[in-house]
Amino acid sequence: MEAVEQLAYFDGEDVGTTVIEKLNDTDSLVRITAAEVLGRIKFKKSIPYHIDSLSDKDEVVRAYVAEALGKIGDKKINPCT
């Protein structure tokens, strides 16, 4: 989980792609961290994966995913941004 968090300090598409994979991890804390990191780096390519994660079985994960989508701020998600 900490390793995923540290990836937020790096730049590049490879980082975002690596973190996207963690949205499907079996550990809910890893999924939460992945959502936070992708939101923090505003990785727009993660939007479809975040949308899929809105149906996560864990309500806390869903909340963090929704927050991350807001941080990404794409007009596809929120036309008011």
Q: What is the CATH number of the domain that holds 31?
A: 1.25.10.10
Angle in degrees, 0-180, between the axes of helices 59-72 and 28-40, rounded to the nearest 10: 10
In a domain, 30, yes or no: yes
In a domain, 16, yes or no: yes
The region that residue 67 occupies, defined by phi over 0 for left and psi between -120 and 50 for alpha, beta otherwise, is: alpha
In a domain, 46, yes or no: yes
In a domain, 64, yes or no: yes
**Domain that residue 44 falls in:** 2-72
Count CB atoms within 10 A of the CB of residue 77.
16
In a domain, 37, yes or no: yes
In a domain, 18, yes or no: yes
Contact of 19 with 43, CB cutoff 8 Å: yes
pLDDT tens per residue, range 15-71: 788 899 999 999 999 999 999 999 999 999 999 999 999 999 999 999 999 999 999
Count up the domains in the chain and report the number.
1
Predicted structure pTM score: 0.80
In a domain, 79, yes or no: no
